[in-house]
Amino acid sequence: MAWALKLPLTDEVIESGLVQDFDASLSGIGQELGAGAYSMSDVLALPIFKQEESNLPADNENKILPFQYVLCAATSPAIKLHDETLTYLNQGQSYEIRMLDNRKIGELPEITGKMVKSIIRVVFHDRRLQYTEHQQLEGWRWNRPGDRILALDIPMSVGIIDPRANPTQLNTVEFLWDPSKRTSVFIQVHCISTEFTMRKHGGEKGVPFRIQIDTFKENESGEYTEHLHSASCQVKVFKVRGATRSQPSSVLIVLPMTFIL
C-alpha cells in the first residue's frame, strides 16, 4: 500500500476552507421562511377589524369608512406575513373594544347628534362550523346551562346606552351609542376554542372565532334597521390557567380596527 505524504497547509488555504464550510452551513437558512415569515411588527399591534362586506359603489372602494373599532388586546407574534391578525383571549376576562367615529366633516349628517345601534357577535371562523352553527351553539347550551357565550361587562363600559343580551341568543349582545362621544364597551367571551373541536386523544387544536360588529342607524319608524357598517377580527379563547401563551400584553399600540361598511 502506498502512502501519500501531505504537505502542511498554509494559513491562507486553511482560512479559505473554513470560510467555505461556514458559508455552506448557512445555505438554506431562511429558505423555509419566504411567504411564511413571521411579521414581528404585529407583536405590538392591536388587531384590526377587517371589512366583511361593502355597500359602497365600486368607484368608492377606497373611501374611508365611518367607524373604527379597536380590540385592546395584543395580537399573537406567530402571524405569517400578510396574514390576518390572531388574538388570544382568556376565558371570562373583560376586554375593551373602543368605538371610534371616523367620519369626515359633513359625512353621514343624518346620524349627527343621534344614536346608532351596534350588535356584537361571537361567530365561527371556519366555514365547516359556520354551516352547523345552530347545532354547535345548541350543544354548548346543553352542556353549559345558564351560561352565555358572550356577555357585557356593563360597570366597566363607557358611553353605551340600553345594553341588552337576548337570553335566546347566547353569542350576541347589543347597545346604543353616540359616535360623537367617547364609547368603550367591555366584553367577556365564556366559551373556549377547544369546546368545538373533535375529541381525539387530547391536545386538540382550538378553533378560531370571529368577533363581529354590525352597526345600524335609525329609520323613519324609529327602528335601528338601516345597516351602516360591519367588521370582524379573528380570536382564539382559552382557559386562564391553560397553556402558557407568551404575548406582550403589557405593551399596546392602538391601531384602528376598521369594520366594514
Q: Is residue 99 part of a domain?
A: yes
Distance CA 154, CA 172 (A): 15
Report yes or no on 34 lying in a domain.
Answer: no
Q: According to the model, what pLDDT value does residue 260 have?
A: 38
State the pLDDT at residue 164.
96
Please tell me the predicted confidence (pLDDT) of residue 85. Answer: 84
Q: What is the pLDDT of residue 199?
A: 65
**Domain presence at residue 207:** yes
Residue 3 in any domain: the answer is no
Flag whether 6 is in a domain: no
- Predicted structure pTM score: 0.69
Distances (CA, A) of 257 to 49, 95, 195, 251: 4, 15, 27, 17
27 domain residue, yes or no: no
The tally of domains found in the chain comes to: 1
Structural domain harbouring 168: 67-259
pLDDT for position 90: 95
Query: Please, what is the Cα angle at 172 between 57 and 258, to 5 degrees?
Result: 35
Write out the chain's pLDDT in tens, 261 residues.
444 434 444 555 444 554 454 444 444 433 333 333 434 344 345 555 565 544 444 444 556 688 999 999 988 887 777 778 899 999 999 999 999 998 888 888 999 989 999 999 998 887 777 777 778 788 888 889 999 999 999 999 999 999 999 998 999 999 999 999 999 999 999 999 888 776 655 556 788 899 999 999 999 899 999 999 998 999 999 987 654 444 433 333 233 344 333
Which CATH number do you get for residue 192? 2.60.40
* Residue 85, in any domain of the structure: yes
Q: What is the per-residue pLDDT for 99?
A: 95
Residue 182 within a domain = yes
**Is residue 236 classed exposed, middle or buried when 0-12, 13-18 and 19+ CB atoms within 10 A define those classes?**
buried
